[in-house]
Structure 1
């Protein structure tokens, strides 16, 4: 099955438990349609570059999935209809990277930046 990575932004006035509950909810939608949630990360509340629906901040979540295209389309459709989800981005990838995403790594572990002098 194809591999996908999803990032979605939920409203800022949700609690952390409710935002993490959305991850489980959309993972179960995938499972019901023949896919599986490989990994998920809750990135926390972050400030956005511009307002979305009068919100300056949002709960960010990252999902790695292994699912057929119809299951992904159904999950995206339900995300767009959900009142708490403001934005969704889905990317098809060739393989999932091992370990945490770049957003969850510490600055010291990244190693892709040179020293400023």
Structure 2
């Protein structure tokens, strides 16, 4: 069967529990038609690039699907009817990733402090600011003084 990655965005007004119920509902639609959901990832509430139906944020969910095209079409049809789903996108892929997606991979913020300069600009002292002693002195007329 073909493999798909499917992402849908749910309204910000619904709770995360309701999003889980919607995910379970769409998973049941796929399994009833001979498909299988290999992985489900809830990415949380994230801001949208632009407002969609007066929503500025949305719940993001990823489904890795192994199902016939007819099952995916039925799931998309039901998502199109639902008022809680703002957008969805399905992409056919060659293989499904087993590892967590890029959205779930946490960046270790402590690694930045291990770099020389404390991770701020790569300079000693930790930044780009120059100290007052490094600046040339100016007289009242605006000329540099020694």
- Give yes or no for TM over 0.5: yes
Structure 2 residue 85 is matched with structure 1 residue 92: no
Cα shift readout 1:22-42 (whole Å, capped 9, x = no counterpart) = 111100000111101111011
Trace 1:1-117 onto structure 2 (pairs within 5 A): 1-108=1-108, 117=122
Q: Distance in 2 between matches of 1:89 and 1:80?
A: 11
Structure 1 runs (4+) deviating above 3 angstroms are none
Q: Distance in 2 between matches of 1:84 and 1:44?
A: 15
Cα shift readout 1:60-85 (whole Å, capped 9, x = no counterpart) = 10000000010011111111111100
Q: Distance in 1 between matches of 2:19 and 2:68?
A: 25
Q: Relative contact order, CA 8 A, sep 6+: which one is greater?
A: 1
Give the structure 2 partner of residue 111 of structure 1. Answer: none
Alpha-carbon distance, 1:97 to partner: 1.1
The CA RMSD measured in Å over matched residues stands at 1.3
Q: Distance in 2 between matches of 1:98 and 1:30?
A: 20
Give the structure 2 partner of residue 112 of structure 1. Answer: none
Counterpart secondary structure, 1:27: helix
Counterpart secondary structure, 1:8: strand
- TM-score normalized with structure 1 length: 0.91
Q: Which residues of structure 2 form unaligned runs of 5+?
A: 109-118, 123-146
Alpha-carbon distance, 1:21 to partner: 1.1
Alpha-carbon distance, 1:20 to partner: 1.2
Counterpart secondary structure, 1:78: helix
Q: Which residues of structure 1 form unaligned runs of 5+?
A: 109-114
Larger Rg belongs to: 2
